[in-house]
Amino acid sequence: MDSQDPVVMTEPRPGVLLITLNRPRVRNAINHTLADAMDAALTRLDAAPSLAIGILTGAGGHFCSGMDLRAFPTDGIPLVADRGLAGLTRARLRKPLIAAVEGAAVAGGFELALACDLITAADTAFFALPEVARGLVAAEGGAIRLPGRLPYHVAMEMLLTAASLPAPDAARYGLVNQLTREGQALHAALSLAERVQANSRDAVHVTKQIVQDTRGLDDHTAYTVQDPLSAPVFTTTTATEGATAFTEKRPPAWQR
């Protein structure tokens, strides 16, 4: 990477914003410069009417090795406002985000992947939360999200011993949506994005918001949160078209 290259590259494709972490010499470690650039890219994704979904990946054969430990002693954790590490781990993005993982997704890099809605991974990739081995804590979602997504004892082994999890095992546990050959994670993510985009944008985005806003709530409370979000969707012309297309056994207008 040339010193003048952007630390985060963005490439708009039809309906998709491809976001690439671009510090390959340090396995895309996150410093404050990268964090600010990624936050700007995520803000662009959520604000652009032409974009329905984002894909997050890393340059140079690795996803992300977490925060830049060389910079940490002087600069601290590269947090962005109330949106967490690199503007993602505590963010409430309206649009779905897919992580396309090659190589290492460790520490904060794994926490970035856990903050995404879908994950594709090469069969040579691996995940780890080695913070305890460095005298740190997986404080940007690792210790919160992982025990709910893996068998408890597997998650605790990763958190307490710094053990790594190969992508094939992650896929077996359901942590990875699609496992691919090395070098094909981005291709799989683009295919997955096409499948998401084949559906109504309003329905996709509201569904994501309901999931975000009701996680951890009891059923009664969750319905009181869900109903004001879902009710307007049922009154749209998109919903009417979807129902009509189903009864007429044809694709809905947005798929033609």
Tokens of 207: 């569904």
Residues 6 or more apart whose Cβ sits within 8 Å of residue 98: 53, 54, 55, 56, 116, 117, 118, 119, 120, 189, 192, 193
Q: Is 164 helix (H, G, I), strand (E, B) or coil?
A: strand
Q: Say which residues have a Cβ less than 8 Å from residue 66's Cβ, sequence separation at least 6.
A: 29, 30, 106, 107, 108, 109, 110, 111
**Cα–Cα distance measured from residue 242 to residue 198, given in angstroms and rounded to the nearest whole number:** 12
Q: Would you name the residues annotated as active-site residues?
A: 111, 131
Decide: helix, strand or coil at residue 175: coil
Q: Are strands 16-21 and 8-13 parallel, antiparallel or unpaired?
A: antiparallel
Q: Which residues pair with 53 in a beta bridge?
A: 16
